[in-house]
Amino acid sequence: MSTQATSEFMILGPTMASGSKVLDAVHALYFLPEHFKLILTGSDKADQSFFAQVQALIDRVGLAHRVVLSDNAEGVDVIILPNTGMSRMPRSIAGDSPEALASAILTVARASAPLS
C-alpha cells in the first residue's frame, strides 16, 4: 500500500510588529500537523528584545524546522490577521488564542487549495 505525501500548508503570520499575536501564531503551530509551516515577516525591523523572545519560544517548543523568518510570502495558503476587526480577505483568519487560530487554520485547510 502506498501513501500520498502531504504537501506543506503555508501560513502567513502577523508581522513581528504585531507583538503578542506573533506569539499566539507560534503557539498555534504547536497544535497543527507537521506539514503546516509558519512564515513570519518583518524580523529585520522588529524590536530586538521581542525578536529574541520569539526565537526563544520557537526553540523552546521545537518548531524551528516549521517557522520561516522571511519577507517572501509566496505560496501562502492562509493569512493570520492581527486583529479580528480587520477587513476580511480571502482565506484570512483571526483569533484571540492559539487554540482559536489553530482551529480556524484547520477549517481553511480543509476547504481550500493554495492561494495563487
The residues spanned by each domain of the chain are 9-111
Divide the 116 residues of the chain into consecutive groups of 10 and give the mean pLDDT of each group. 66 88 94 95 84 93 94 87 70 90 92 61
Residue 43: the pLDDT is 79
Q: Which of 43, 45, 106 is nearest to 78 (CA)?
A: 106
Q: Residue 17 gets which letter from DSSP?
A: G
Residue 6: the pLDDT is 64
Task: Report d(CA 41, CA 20) in Å as an integer.
Answer: 14
For residues 28 and 101, the answer to whether their CB atoms sit within 8 Å is yes
Backbone angles phi, psi at 51, to 5 degrees: -60, -40
pTM of the model: 0.84
Residue 9: the pLDDT is 94
* Residue 110: exposure state from Cβ atoms within 10 A (0-12, 13-18, ≥19): exposed
Sign of CA dihedral 78, 39, 24, 15: negative
Residue 19: the pLDDT is 86
CATH of domain 9-111: 3.40.50.2000
Residue 89: the pLDDT is 74
Alpha-carbon torsion, ordered 116, 3, 35, 106, to 10 deg: 70
The β-bridge partners of 39 are 12, 68
Residue 23: the pLDDT is 94
